[in-house]
Structure 1
């Protein structure tokens, strides 16, 4: 595996070609490289608004994959989704070109910056987004690459004038261990991506290695002490001599937090999709007004404030800046309403994420209203491993539609379909609908004014949001 010593500064990469440039992570890296004056080209399976935006910035993008697209480049960037038989990758290797993973390309942009690397099984995109907005409020003007799009700006990346770089640290394939964080955030640690790691213990060990990387860089680890996995990593990091800031509701066991700085959250009032709470750091009490519902979002916001504190910025300014955070696309994103029914979209694709999302939806639905969820499982391996946990989580909703599995990078597994998830929902209001065309007619027969509908999953289920709003007579 590539190590941090193998990362080449971005200015030394020459002409850079991205295979799959339209992806969330790849497009952000390409955008920052273009801003730095690096010649960028790329390919993607289909045209999109993202591709159009990159072309407007100067990238040469082709639709489809052909070997001759890499003839005049110096470095080729791939993600874990690119298979070894991709014709561009085959040709690049045949020409002896430098081929680097997406994470290494991201690391090349960080070589001269103080880095905030956001890791965790859940909440990375939201926490990265909130951290970016909080630091902007501190006049840090950070560079950032986010695995989602900020609703307020429509951007997933930016080349700032400051010395801070904020980025998601993707643990799915272990590549987050390339980075040397000034601030390493661990939102939570649970079993996931078992197709790569094999066991939950291996996942934990990867996060321990992330903590060691932060310690070796002389950085600060920010970790959620409410989460047992992240709390364990915090204690481990402290034993490695790393500065640690823990955060959460508490109360915290004295042994757990020994030697750690702690930010404690005191819940306040909430109304609809807004919530107020207070963060206590030492003797300071810092009020936060957040325009997103859910306890998990309060935790993510606290991680952002702790990161600003670790970098030497005023936590009060960071907290005040979060009032200007208006969400990230596909994270409890409001899509519209019609006939008194509100429609939201979310990227949640793990049982814990779905539990948090549906719990928040129950908090904001109108009195007497029902929560309907349209869920698309992501990856056959994840569906097979967590079928029961998915069913329990989805059971929080009143009405459940499960679609078929979005395969992403995997080949089909016999017998693994959305039906095995629907069968695990512990109430009668669950159905498996394999075709997208079945969803809208089914919902129209069941929704009532005051209800909420959520389209949920990491695949293409998001396209149904607009169709549902239109069918309800909304806009």
Structure 2
């Protein structure tokens, strides 16, 4: 067993690495600058010691066997400079995972600009319900499991072995400051879902073509006896496959492949494959994007031997991932949701999904923190207003944004308000909110804990 020290341990991916390493019997410590749920809760439960910040002094007396460096770490950080100056052994999170966990396993990887976390959780739950006891690493905390990562467990079918399957969220973001390849090229999947592909991560990719190149690299790692599960409605993925294809492909959201029927008022829908009805998904999720996520998960599960009918039945008990349309509370008849959406396409599908759930009568009050690197750069700001058009009121937290949020959202007219102060934003939302409203908070960060601020203020609005 070894002692590993994780730089940037509180990110969703690196927090999962910490959980896996701890479960494997290693001593785990780490450091980070921003600590907030759900990863902070998971790491606390694992009793992992965390140093606040990236000071070099944390290395004194530590004597770790390996330093696992997350992509939050940059040259110039004192702890990074000290690791390099001392000649200490270091690696990236994806490389450590590939060498110490994934080796010899049947890896099912879920890639795409949107829906990776939810689809990974769906696929993992289907395999779990089928008794396959997979290992997994999800970029969030699936409600069905309560943790973001675990090692393969003992399958029902063979109590004397461990599961050969591992499901992983396959991120296209770069690996580390010393390895600029996308994380997912390290995973060598046998089953790979390509959920969709749009421009994102403007801080590291010049354009969509650059991301398509990375997806092409992923396709190159899938063996000929493997399988690609591909969204048939994504021209960018057609271009990726057009650059070279060595594995069988099954398409979803395309005639002749896996198709979802129209959802009813409860979000239930029929599943079809090759024109033959496979069953009916009856669950609590809404939105076309979730129906597509389900198709991809069902198809991938079929590749490892789970019959579609069994996969469809498993989705009836699927609970979503924390921070994916998660209800944080109800106060004064007003429901507050937390969602990770931060790209215009994800924002649009999230709002549309909530609209499908609450109908035309329920008001949606959308709160947005443009916090991702891409949104901070303003690269996609021109698409932001259109992504929010189904919301009844919109608030944007523009503190230190660097571009004019009010101008970008001007097409929304009088229903949009922009604030530099989170407390002022909360006060304005509470002033406007009324019983029966749905407050949808969207951010890929903590948003200053605004969810609880809202619930507290709504409980005692006159204090």
TM-score (norm 2): 0.88
TM superposition shift of 1:399:
0.7
Offset at 1:196?
1.1
Q: What does residue range 321-470 of structure 1 map to in structure 2 within 5 Å?
A: 321-379=314-372, 381-383=374-376, 384-404=378-398, 415-423=402-410, 425-461=411-447, 463-470=449-456
Match of 2:209 among 201, 212, 220: 201
Give the 3-state SS of the residue equivalent to 2:440 in structure 1. strand
**Residues 189 and 19 of structure 1: is their aligned pair in 2 closer, same or farther, counting only changes over 3 Å?**
same
Structure 2 residue runs without a partner (length 5+): 154-162, 175-181
Distance 1:177 1:358 in 2: 32
1:307-336 deviations in whole A, cap 9, x for unaligned?
111112222222211111111111111122
Superposition deviation, residue 52 in structure 1: 6.0
Cα distance in 2 for partners of 1:68, 1:246 equals 52
**Cα distance, 1:84 vs. partner?**
1.4
Equivalent residue for 1:224, pick from 208, 228, 231: 231
Aligned to 1:17: 5
The answer to whether the aligner puts 1:241 opposite 2:238 as a matched pair is no
Residues 158-215 of structure 1 show CA distances to partners (whole Å, capped at 9, x for unaligned) of: 1122111111111122222222111111110111112212011111222122112214
* 1:23-172 superposed matches below 5 A: 23-45=11-33, 50-51=39-40, 53-54=42-43, 56-57=45-46, 59-70=48-59, 71-108=62-99, 109-161=101-153, 162-172=163-173
Q: Is the 8 A contact 1:51 1:61 kept in 2?
A: no
1:430 Cα offset (Å) = 0.8
Candidates 294, 307, 314, aligned match of 1:314: 307
The match for 1:214 is 222
Deviation at 1:464, TM superposition (A): 1.3
Structure 1: stretches of 5+ with no match in the other structure: 1-10, 253-261, 406-411
Distance (Å, rounded) in 2 between the aligned partners of 1:124 and 1:360: 17
Aligned residues: 439
Distance change >3 Å, CA 155–CA 447, structure 1 → 2: same
Specify whether residues 421 and 266 from structure 1 end up closer, same or farther in structure 2 by C-alpha distance, changes over 3 A only. Answer: same
> Which digits, 9 at most, give the CA deviation of each residue in 1:32-55, with x for residues without a partner?
111111221212235656446435
RMSD of aligned Cα (Å): 2.3
Alpha carbons of structure 1 residues 159 and 43: separation in structure 2 relative to 1, 3 Å: same
Cα distance, 1:152 vs structure 2: 3.5
Contact 1:34 1:58 in 2 (8 A): no
Instruction: Quickly say closer, same or farther: Cα 1:282–1:366, change in 2 above 3 A.
Output: closer
Instruction: Determine helix, strand or coil for the equivalent of 1:17.
Output: strand
Give SS of 2:262's match: strand
Match of 1:257 in 2: none
> Could you tell which deviates more after superposition, 88-97 or 156-165?
88-97
TM-score by length of 1: 0.86
Residue number in structure 1 paired with 2:190: 182
Distance in 2, Cα, partners of 1:323 & 1:231: 32
Deviation at residue 281 of structure 1 after TM alignment: 5.1
Partner SS, residue 267 of structure 1:
coil
Shift of 1:349: 0.7
